[in-house]
A = this chain, B = another copy of it.
């Protein structure tokens, strides 16, 4: 497929990044559409589009591939509009984070549901990048009605964008996402609301409790403009996952009420094993090792640590600061992939004079 003709419907972070990647890496001709004129202007300004179209129908009329990258609640309608106006040989896909409903709504052989696992942390075309999908899992949910030719064309294009397209059943996709994304968001919401309620009932301020509450609630109250759509579109699967979580919490409550230490320990040990298994499966570079160093929390210390590791070629997979209540000092956790790398990092940090242990 040389110089494919592509339309992107919705030019935010994801749509804009698809457009940039298609232009820069594949030499595609990219037409964009967005219901927001400023967003469309920003995408043109950013160099993501060859030109803008005034309607979905005009954007897709002569295209080989169409990506629908609007908010989840609007995807199904936009996909319908795209399929109605796209040529017979065109493939139409979307990037929504739930798939069952959208796939059920469209039995057109030209449609393939999709979901790239990338870029959820920011929004807007100003954060778009041609390499956003490099190495990223890109779920595709072909249905029984999906034709092989458009699927294969889409697959090859995604490879060219740097992604790893992975076929998955739409139901399985929604179950996994409910478990690893939607449920954690719901838990975060419950934690902040329950804490706010408990503290106001006790007339107390939130104490500086360290990282567990903060980490667990970082995604609490994420934008309703995005998340109501996600929750509602995945409501059947998510409701079942919430129910399962309620049952798990109920068993923990029962062990507490019974004062059953062995049951509590077994439950907690199982979680430790599950956590390590999940982490190790995720990181192909080797088991993830967590180092904890005690550091003064002043400007420059993190830089010193990061510089020292960087100079020696040790890459930090993840990092978290746990400041003391007065912010004067704290602990920095460093996640390093691979035991050998972690040992080197450990020695380097120790040589800088900071107490460090493997967690």
Contact = CB atoms under 8 A, between A and B. Distances in A.
Interface in A301-341: 301-307, 309-311, 313-329, 331, 333, 337
A235 to B, nearest CB: 4
Contacts of A189: 252, 267-268, 271
Given A216-B219, A327-B317, A206 B282 contact: yes
Interface stretch (A32-40, A47-55, A82-90, A256-264): A256-264
A315 B297 contact: yes
Contact of A268 (B211, B224, B241, B307): B224
Interface in A220-268: 220-222, 224, 227-228, 231-232, 235, 238-239, 241-246, 248-250, 252-253, 256-257, 259, 261, 264-265, 267-268
Interface stretch (A141-149, A150-158, A180-188): A180-188
Interface in A252-304: 252-253, 256-257, 259, 261, 264-265, 267-278, 281-282, 285, 292, 294, 297-304
Contacts of A42: none
A206 B213 CA distance: 24
Interface string A182-211: 011111111111111011001011111111
A274 B136 contact: no
Given A181-B213, A324-B118, A324-B135, A175 B187 contact: no
A322 B121 contact: yes
B213 A215 contact: no
A316 B324 contact: no
Given A202-B172, A205-B282, A242-B256, A220 B275 contact: yes
A120 interface: yes
Interface stretch (A3-11, A62-70, A103-111, A122-130): A122-130
Nearest to A217: B275
A302 B281 contact: no
Contact of A246 (B228, B250, B355): B250
A29 interface: no
Contacts of A124: 357
A189 to B, nearest CB: 4
B227 A326 contact: no
A160 interface: no
A179 interface: yes
A171 to B, nearest CB: 9
B300 A310 contact: yes
A203 B228 CA distance: 29
Nearest 9 CB-CB pairs, A to B? A135-B326, A221-B272, A299-B310, A189-B271, A303-B306, A300-B310, A303-B307, A196-B274, A221-B271
Interface of A: 117-118, 120-122, 124, 126-127, 129, 131-132, 134-137, 139, 168, 172, 175-177, 179-181, 183-196, 198-199, 202, 204-222, 224, 227-228, 231-232, 235, 238-239, 241-246, 248-250, 252-253, 256-257, 259, 261, 264-265, 267-278, 281-282, 285, 292, 294, 297-307, 309-311, 313-329, 331, 333, 337, 355, 357
